[in-house]
Amino acid sequence: MQNNSANPLLQDFIETCKTHNLKVTPQRMAIYRELVDSTEHPTVDAMFQTVKKEYPNISYDTVSRTMLTFAEIGMVDLVEVYGGAKRFDPNVTNHHHLHCVSCGKILDFHNDEYNNLEIPDHVPQGFKVLTSRVVLKGICNKCSNPGNVSP
Ligand SMILES: [Zn+2]
Ligand SMILES: [Zn+2]
């Protein structure tokens, strides 16, 4: 087992687990570490494939339950994807998404104007808005230039 005490991210993780009475296991730690490392907004399946390399005996169910627990306690976010598998977002700060409708890739982007979007006075049915996120749908660079092979 490696020494994680120097890593502030894992220190935070351990603190959050303690707050929520969640046992810190090496598997949970690995899932969290891989999630935070990922910029792909991975599905449970993608994360299972990654974590399995380090923990060959881990079950899909464990990965799935762990990720949902992380989302429940606000350690990670769930991305609004309509239909298809749930996608997880380790970036819980205010940011926006570029969503490729061709390959399904979701990229983060930051924009001050979008961060301060004005919410209309009359949101229907007395709905109280807590946060807002802008999702720009389109075609990513890779999908619009499929033949593009780097030199
Ligand atoms: Zn794409
Ligand atoms: Zn994101």
* Alpha carbon distance 31, 75 (integer Å): 12
**CA of residue 55 to ligand 1 center, whole Å:** 30
Consecutive H or E run containing 118 = none
**CA of residue 96 to ligand 1 center, whole Å:** 17
* Alpha carbon distance 134, 117 (integer Å): 9
**CA of residue 123 to ligand 2 center, whole Å:** 25
**CA of residue 51 to ligand 2 center, whole Å:** 20
**Which numbered ligand comes closest to the C-alpha of 102?**
1
Helices (H) and strands (E) in the chain, counts: 6, 5
CA distance readout (Å), 59 to 51, 68, 116, 139:
10, 14, 42, 34
Burial class (CB in 10 A: 0-12, 13-18, 19+), 46: middle
Please report which confidence band the pLDDT of residue 136 belongs to, taking 50, 70 and 90 as the band edges: very high
- Show the 3-state SS of 122-134: CCHHHCCCCCCCC
Q: Name 110's Cβ contacts closer than 8 Å, sequence gap at least 6.
A: 95, 96
Q: What angle do CA 86, 89, 94 make, to 5 degrees?
A: 130
**Which numbered ligand comes closest to the C-alpha of 146?**
1
**CA of residue 108 to ligand 2 center, whole Å:** 5
How do residues 1-50 score in pLDDT, each as one tens digit?
A: 455 455 788 888 999 999 999 999 999 999 999 999 999 999 999 999 99
**CA of residue 51 to ligand 1 center, whole Å:** 25
How do residues 86-127 score in pLDDT, each as one tens digit?
A: 999 999 899 999 999 999 999 999 999 999 988 888 888 888
**Which numbered ligand comes closest to the C-alpha of 107?**
2
Q: Residues lining ligand 1 (ion), CB within 5 A?
A: 100, 102-103, 105, 140, 143
Closest CA relative to residue 84, chosen from 106, 63, 66, 69: 106
**Which numbered ligand comes closest to the C-alpha of 90?**
2
Report pTM. Answer: 0.81
